[in-house]
């Protein structure tokens, strides 16, 4: 059995299915480049048949990424596989990942197909995918609730048809670690041609067990884990990449395999995903939470000072915490700025974006003494919108707390190229700003979430605001950063509105018409 555990990152596909986590092409490219730098083996870049935007993103990533395999998802459907094949055409290393549901409930209620028909379609899909690439993955969706005998039958058939990876998804997060591990061991044992394919797992976190289930499968012989940065993903998310990778690295006594991952990129990747999606990382999140290496209790601090191994099983710098240094000052030049961002895995899509980001950096350096990597990453994510035509643009915000407890805000925006300005009152300055924007654009949906985080420390730290809006069942997240949290709030609100008003329709691989 191979001693390499392949890491298959699906942040850009399953992660993006998380309500409100949609990403722009530039953001996806930035993430793909960081994943490549982290030495992720396979990057699932999207579901090309979902929408023209998804196709374009997979195609652009396929052109740019050289050192990781670029993968596209496709239902076991000729049209989907053709789209995936076309999108991946320019890739140096490509993979098509095709899937069809195999649990009794999915076959009967969703697909309305007999088990024989499901096997037939799976085999046909794998054969068609092999006409585009030699690297084909097959997933029996909802395997966690499928009959083991049927799984053995379909896996044998797809491996015979040319699948080189077979992935066992716990689609609904129903599995228990011990039982799931046993299932993987049993499949490897019972499928006669199991030695011709890599066994993989893809676990969802509905019961908080995605990482445990994945690790149990690795102990039973799985040699690929599908996961996402920060555990982003559908509903409660997927297995978290950073937790899987660090568990395997920290416990070589338990796992007889290792990954190729450059673990110093884990914290930067977590920051990037959080800033792009606006989903904050909980402070006590393993590996990448701000408290993950903070020792508060005196007795712990004393022990760590004497010998860090008394209380630390991993080193903060090994997962990238030391990367958040004070790096540049107000006298740093444009080349130093671009070079430093390159070392953080950021490449600008255009000169205009670099110029805009550098200008924002200079403005920040005038106001803020210490500038950290995280400050730079937040500048970069807002510069990624330069050159993009958006419906709403924030021009200015002025707000004041009045003595009668109400606050007043005047907001100026550009809407479809026309400038509008409105003064509104509210319960606090943020409420007043939101009222003004809402009335100007005629938004009649719901504000579902408002959150503020500080990106670094100190009262001059940048505030990072997240806003979640809902209209007619569509949920989007917006984010905005600024030294001033009122401005950051206005930016986040406008960012969410731009996403809500974008018209692109996107099919969901699992909810859209199954076949």
CA neighbor of 435 nearest in space, from 472, 407, 475 = 407
Q: Does 54 bind ligand KIV (CB under 6 A)?
A: no
* Residue 111 vs 411, nearer CB to ligand KIV: 111
Burial category of 341 from C-beta neighbours within 10 Å (exposed 0-12, middle 13-18, buried 19 and up):
buried
Q: Does 226 bind Zn ion (CB under 5 A)?
A: no
Start-to-end Cα distance in the chain:
36
Residue 240 CB, nearest distance to Zn ion (Å)? 14
Residue 202 CB, nearest distance to ligand KIV (Å)? 5
**Residue of the chain from 33, 135, 139, 240 that contacts ligand KIV (CB under 6 A):** 139
List binders of ligand KIV among 73-102 (CB under 6 A): 99
Helix/strand/coil for 410? strand
Q: Does 142 bind Zn ion (CB under 5 A)?
A: no
Measure the CA–CA gap between 411 and 407, rounded to whole angstroms: 13
Measure the CA–CA gap between 91 and 58, rounded to whole angstroms: 10
Q: Does 509 bind ligand KIV (CB under 6 A)?
A: yes
The number of angstroms, rounded, from the C-alpha of 364 to the middle of its chain's C-alpha atoms is 28
List binders of ligand KIV among 161-180 (CB under 6 A): 169, 171
Partner interacting with residue 345 (select from ligand KIV, Zn ion, none; CB below 5-8 Å by kind): none
Helix intervals (H) in 208-333? 210-219, 241-250, 266-277, 298-306
Measure the CA–CA gap between 293 and 303, rounded to whole angstroms: 14
Q: Does 44 bind ligand KIV (CB under 6 A)?
A: no
Q: Does 231 bind ligand KIV (CB under 6 A)?
A: no
Burial category of 125 from C-beta neighbours within 10 Å (exposed 0-12, middle 13-18, buried 19 and up):
buried
Pick the piece of the chain touching Zn ion (CB under 5 A) from 12-20, 273-281, 409-417, 457-465.
Answer: 12-20
**Residue of the chain from 26, 141, 242, 375 that contacts ligand KIV (CB under 6 A):** 141
Q: What are the backbone angles phi and psi of residue 49, rounded to the nearest 5°?
A: -80, -5
Residue 509 CB, nearest distance to Zn ion (Å)? 9
Partner interacting with residue 213 (select from Zn ion, ligand KIV, none; CB below 5-8 Å by kind): none
Q: Does 202 bind ligand KIV (CB under 6 A)?
A: yes
Pick the piece of the chain touching Zn ion (CB under 5 A) from 11-19, 247-255, 405-413, 423-431.
Answer: 11-19
Helix/strand/coil for 257? coil
Please work out the total of residues on this chain that contact ligand KIV, with binding judged by CB under 6 A. 9
H/E element holding 136?
Answer: strand 136-141
Q: Does 14 bind Zn ion (CB under 5 A)?
A: yes
Partner interacting with residue 41 (select from ligand KIV, Zn ion, none; CB below 5-8 Å by kind): none
Sole residue written with tokens 């084909």: 136
Partner interacting with residue 463 (select from Zn ion, ligand KIV, none; CB below 5-8 Å by kind): none
* Residue 141 vs 431, nearer CB to ligand KIV: 141
Q: Does 44 bind Zn ion (CB under 5 A)?
A: no
Residues 6+ positions from 333 with CB-CB distance below 8 Å: none
Task: Report residue 290 as tokens.
Answer: 């701000």
Partner interacting with residue 77 (select from Zn ion, ligand KIV, none; CB below 5-8 Å by kind): none
Residue 411 CB, nearest distance to ligand KIV (Å)? 41
Residues 6+ positions from 303 with CB-CB distance below 8 Å: 310, 311
For the chain, helix, strand, coil in percent to 5 are: 45, 20, 35
Partner interacting with residue 99 (select from ligand KIV, Zn ion, none; CB below 5-8 Å by kind): ligand KIV
H/E element holding 25?
Answer: helix 25-37
Binding site for Zn ion (CB under 5 A): 14
Binding site for ligand KIV (CB under 6 A): 14, 99, 139, 141, 169, 171, 202, 204, 509
């Amino acid at each position: 059995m191979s001693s390499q555990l392949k890491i298959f990152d699906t942040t850009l596909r399953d992660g993006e299915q998380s309500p409100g986590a949609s990403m722009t092409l530039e953001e996806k490219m930035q993430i793909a480049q960081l994943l490549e730098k982290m030495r992720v083996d396979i990057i699932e870049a999207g579901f090309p048949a979902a929408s023209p935007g998804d196709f374009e993103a997979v195609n652009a990533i396929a052109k740019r990424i050289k050192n990781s395999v670029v993968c596209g998802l496709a239902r076991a459907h000729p049209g989907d596989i053709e789209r995936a094949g076309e999108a991946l055409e320019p890739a140096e290393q490509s993979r098509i990942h095709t899937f069809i549901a195999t649990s009794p409930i999915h076959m009967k209620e969703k697909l309305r197909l007999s088990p024989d028909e499901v096997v037939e379609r799976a085999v046909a899909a794998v054969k068609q995918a092999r006409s585009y690439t030699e690297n084909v993955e097959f997933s029996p969706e909802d395997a966690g609730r499928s009959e083991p005998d049927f799984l053995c039958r379909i896996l044998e058939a797809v491996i015979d048809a040319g699948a080189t990876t077979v992935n066992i998804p716990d689609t609904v997060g129903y599995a228990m670690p011990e039982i799931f591990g046993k299932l993987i061991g049993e499949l490897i044992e019972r499928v006669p041609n199991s030695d011709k394919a890599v066994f993989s797992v893809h676990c969802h976190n509905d019961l908080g067990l995605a990482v445990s289930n994945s690790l149990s499968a690795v102990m039973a012989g799985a040699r690929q884990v599908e996961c996402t940065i920060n555990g982003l993903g559908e509903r409660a998310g997927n297995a978290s990449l950073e937790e899987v990778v660090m568990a395997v690295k920290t416990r070589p006594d338990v796992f007889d395999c290792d990954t190729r991952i450059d673990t110093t990129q884990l914290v930067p990747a977590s920051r990037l995903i959080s800033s792009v999606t606006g989903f904050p990382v909980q402070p006590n999140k393993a590996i990448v939470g701000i408290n993950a290496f903070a020792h508060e209790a005196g007795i712990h601090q004393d022990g760590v000072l004497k010998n860090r191994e008394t209380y630390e099983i991993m080193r903060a710098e090994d997962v990238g915490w030391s990367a958040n240094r004070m790096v540049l000052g107000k006298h740093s030049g444009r080349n130093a700025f671009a070079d430093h961002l390159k070392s953080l895995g950021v490449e600008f899509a255009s000169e205009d974006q670099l110029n805009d980001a550098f200008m924002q950096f200079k403005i920040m350096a005038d106001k803020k003494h210490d500038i950290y990597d995280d400050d730079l990453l937040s500048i970069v994510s807002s510069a990624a919108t330069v050159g993009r035509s958006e419906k709403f643009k924030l021009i200015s915000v002025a707000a004041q707390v009045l003595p009668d407890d109400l606050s007043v805000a005047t907001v100026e925006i550009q809407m479809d190229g026309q400038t509008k300005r409105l003064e509104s009152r509210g319960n606090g300055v943020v409420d007043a700003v939101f009222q003004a924007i809402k009335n100007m654009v005629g938004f009649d949906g719901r504000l579902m979430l408002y959150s503020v985080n500080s990106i670094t420390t100190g009262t001059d730290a940048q505030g990072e605001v997240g806003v979640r809006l809902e209209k007619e069942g569509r949920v989007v997240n917006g984010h905005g950063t600024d030294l001033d949290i009122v401005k950051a709030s206005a930016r986040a609100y406008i960012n969410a509105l731009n996403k809500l008003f974008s018209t692109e329709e996107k099919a969901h691989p699992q909810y859209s018409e199954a076949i």
